[in-house]
Amino acid sequence: MAVKITDICIACGACIDECPVEAIVDDDDNPTGEDIYYVHADKCVECVGYHDEPACAAACPTEGCIVWSDVVDGQASRDEIGADLRKGDTPCVE
């Protein structure tokens, strides 16, 4: 996964509307069954080639809701974000 939506998500839908590759689904379509929005790891490209930062995080009104997570091999990712920031607790946008 490139970015992850945490359990503080308020389900406003802003991230879904902004994702250029349609990698985000709402809680009804979350494959884990959790009651939060979900980022499909095999689709997320961290907006590389689309925006200067992940558009979902920039649009999100909940501070710290969207965080950096592991990169999927073969998927585009932001080289400047190291493994130390990809532990699932560092917000993509501050």
How would you write the pLDDT of the chain (94 residues) with one tens digit per residue? 589 999 999 999 999 999 999 999 999 999 999 888 999 988 999 999 999 999 999 999 999 999 998 878 887 788 888 888 898 889 998 7
Which domains are delineated in the chain? Answer: 1-94 (3.30.70.20)
Would you state the structure tokens that stand for residue 70, as one six-digit string? 């592991």
Tell which residue, 50, 51, 28, 34, has the closest CA to residue 4: 34
Model's pTM, two decimal places? Answer: 0.85
pLDDT reported for residue 1:
55
Output phi, psi for 18, to 5 deg: -90, -15
